[in-house]
Chain A
Amino acid sequence: MIFLRRQVPLLITLVTGLVFAVQYYVPHPASEQMLTSVTKWLQIIGGFALVLGVSSLFHVHAMKIRRKEVGWGYSFVLYVSMLGTIAVGLWSNGKEAIDGAMTSFGWIYNFMMVPLQGTMFAILAFFIASAAYRSFRARSREATVLLIAAIIVMMGRVPLGEYLIPLSGDLSQWILNVLNASVRRAILIGVSLGTVALSIKIIFGMERSYLGGGKE
């Protein structure tokens, strides 16, 4: 059992890890074809994995309803809306519109999903304001620099800001293009090194906790 749970996955990781590291340096169409095939396998496996997710979702909410936990009514709403959407989607052949006429699935998409998602994203503006009010304080010299830069960029990114302080547009452009881009590059270099180091550890089986915890 340990062999199937440990050695085999580690071997698959080692072989595929090395093969695809080498693939990067092989421009031959055969190598590209191999990459394409494997990505298709991944898509298929990913599709099956969705079954895992949906079964987990059903299980968790079924338990909530059975135990009558706090808010079990929401779990019921989830069941109804999920099964309802699947049924309507199948009925409409997965199309939002047929020959320009909106289907019932299209109605759900346009008049439920679009406004609900839009609302969630719109909340961001309110949360940005409240987070800025609560946290954007000049507690130290670094925080003050951050605060000034934020104000300049906020002014420079809107017509009113540029109208009130004409220099703010160019200044915010400079902050974004020079200071921001260089700091992000520095972070990216660190992240990339971390990624490569982690990949090396995974390929050579030195990091195996992702297979289920620590050592054998």
Chain B
Amino acid sequence: MKRETLDVKRDNARSVCVAILLLVAVVCLLGRPALAQSQHGNQTKKTLSPPQDVRAFDTPSDGGGSVTVIWAPAAYDSAATKYQILLSEGLTTDSATMKVVAEFPANQHYVRESKWPWWTRPARGDQHQFTLRNGRGATLTNGTVYSIAVAAVLTDDRGISQPLLVTPQPNWVNWNQINNLVLALLFGGIVFYAISRARTREIFLRRIPGLDAVDEAIGRATELGKPILYLTGAHDMSDPSTIAAAVILGRVAKRTAAYETQLLVPHRDPMTMAVCQEITKQAYLEAGKPDLYKDDSNFFITSDQFSYTAAVDGIMLRKKPAANFFMGAYFAEALLLTETGASTGAIQIAGTDSDHQLPFFVTTCDYTLIGEELYAASAYLSREPVQVGTLLGQDIGKGLILCILAAGTVLAMLGVLLDAQWPQLFLDVFKDVK
């Protein structure tokens, strides 16, 4: 009986325990949505420590409308954990009122992944960084104060840093590109040095067969009593290749004036035509034949690519020039022009920096000035110290680039093999950072 009573009591106690457990479970289950709701309102229970050493500042060296946040890596950094960037306009102390403007896995967005070179890098490479820009999900106006915070999120846990004040501002200098400026100044200095050297010493110029053939082509045209056709390319005067073509035209025109050969220069750009008219006039004046100069030798056809090509092909077939010069920039019309010229039996000399058209020029022209040879042509034809010196400067620049390429390759490989960061000190100097 007693035993029975004890059993009954034990059963009752067990029932009470089960009931309590069930009650706790029900309360827990009922409580879950409430917790989830509070997390939604940025008031999660804070078991996850908030990101440490958070710094926020205006993104340096930019045109404004952007802020950067930096914070220390944490033990919980993994793909499962997420970082959120919270933002609100004005002064805020309550993170609940802040809007999530970015979210990403916690093992991403390190300073080392950013494009900052070492001289503008605001923190060590292992620190986290996020640059928030105006436009995508957030509006950042220059001069307006914003509160920004970083939150770490792992399932239900959320740790939020103290909001910091930050004001986006436009900057006057892009310090990231200072290496570019230094290199440009260095190259400028080299060119000036080379010019001064060329003024005092004789400098060797290697033969460029295409330019040696200029005289031959003009001479042949004179013998045959046929004109010379000179094209300045598809671009306008803002393109250095067109300027180079115009400069070479001056030298060619001087010789055609001396040989009293007819010169035809059809143009695609009216401004280039006006400039080339002046150049040709001056060349005839310098050759002592101003009376032979005709304004009509430079004429405009059309700026449309294939209409121009058809017109020039027509000139080639009707007038059968003895020599065709193709200088400057060209596109798909290159082969249509040169192949027609070849069919008329003219000597053809091309010079272009349009590398994509080089195969066509090389195949169909007698001589081709490849890339920078177009720029060297002026020096070669005039032999003026300024022009020759510039060539020397270019060669020194090219030598420097070759050395940097070799050293950079070796250092980059060492960096990978030794897992070292120091080669980056050198590599960053030659990196194009925007």
Contact = CB atoms under 8 A, between A and B. Distances in A.
A and B touch in the complex (CB under 8 A): yes
A114 to B, nearest CB: 11
Interface string B396-422: 011001000000000000000000000
A136 B61 CA distance: 52
Interface string A15-33: 0000001001111111010
B190 to A, nearest CB: 9
A89 to B, nearest CB: 15
Nearest to A53: B270
Interface stretch (A94-102, A155-163, A169-177, A208-216): A208-216
Contact of A195 (B178, B355, B375): B375
Interface in A186-216: 187-191, 193-202, 206-207, 209-214
Contacts of B236: 46
Nearest to A126: B339
B374 A26 contact: no
B350 interface: no
B171 A214 contact: no
Contacts of B78: none
Given A27-B61, A136-B363, A211 B278 contact: yes
A131 B300 contact: no
Of A24, A27, A207, most B-chain CB atoms within 10 Å: A27
A146 to B, nearest CB: 9
- Binding site of A, secondary structure by majority: helix, strand, loop or mixed? helix
The 6 A-B residue pairs with the shortest CB-CB distance, nearest first, are: A213-B282, A53-B270, A194-B375, A212-B278, A53-B300, A120-B306
Contacts of B227: none
Contacts of B170: 27-30
B355 A188 contact: yes
Given A124-B332, A191-B371, 18 more contacts: A29-B170, A42-B238, A45-B271, A53-B269, A54-B270, A56-B300, A116-B306, A127-B336, A190-B371, A194-B375, A197-B375, A198-B244, A198-B375, A198-B390, A199-B240, A210-B246, A211-B278, A213-B282
Interface in A22-78: 24-30, 32, 42, 45-46, 49-54, 56-57, 59-60, 63, 70-71, 74
B51 interface: no
Contacts of B191: 197, 200-201
B271 A49 contact: yes
Nearest to B190: A197
Nearest to A189: B401
Contacts of B302: 57
Interface stretch (B35-43, B114-122, B152-160, B180-188): B180-188
A207 B390 CA distance: 11
B145 interface: no
Contacts of A56: 270, 273, 298-300
A136 B362 CA distance: 10
Nearest to B303: A53
A184 B342 CA distance: 26
Contact of A190 (B171, B358, B398): B398
B364 A131 contact: yes
Interface string B302-326: 1100110110001000100000000
22 contacts: A26-B172, A49-B270, A49-B274, A53-B303, A57-B300, A71-B318, A128-B335, A131-B364, A132-B363, A189-B401, A191-B372, A191-B375, A193-B372, A194-B240, A197-B390, A206-B195, A207-B243, A207-B247, A209-B282, A213-B278, A213-B282, A214-B250
Interface residue tally on B, bucketed by range: 35 or more
Given A26-B173, A53-B270, A59 B296 contact: yes
B283 interface: yes
B274 A130 contact: no
A82 to B, nearest CB: 10
Contacts of A140: none
Given A56-B299, A131-B335, A214-B250, A194 B353 contact: yes
Contacts of A187: 353, 355, 358, 370-372
A200 to B, nearest CB: 5
A25 B273 contact: no
Contacts of A54: 270, 300
A184 B370 CA distance: 11
Of B275, B278, B301, B372, most A-chain CB atoms within 10 Å: B372
Contact of B250 (A46, A198, A213): A213
B386 interface: yes
Given A213-B278, A213-B281, A195 B240 contact: yes
Contacts of B332: 121, 124
A124 B355 CA distance: 18
Contacts of A127: 335-336, 339
A181 to B, nearest CB: 11
A59 B401 CA distance: 50
Contacts of B394: 190, 193-194, 197
A179 to B, nearest CB: 13
B315 to A, nearest CB: 10
B222 interface: no
A210 B247 contact: yes
Interface in A106-141: 116-117, 120-121, 123-124, 127-128, 130-132, 134-136
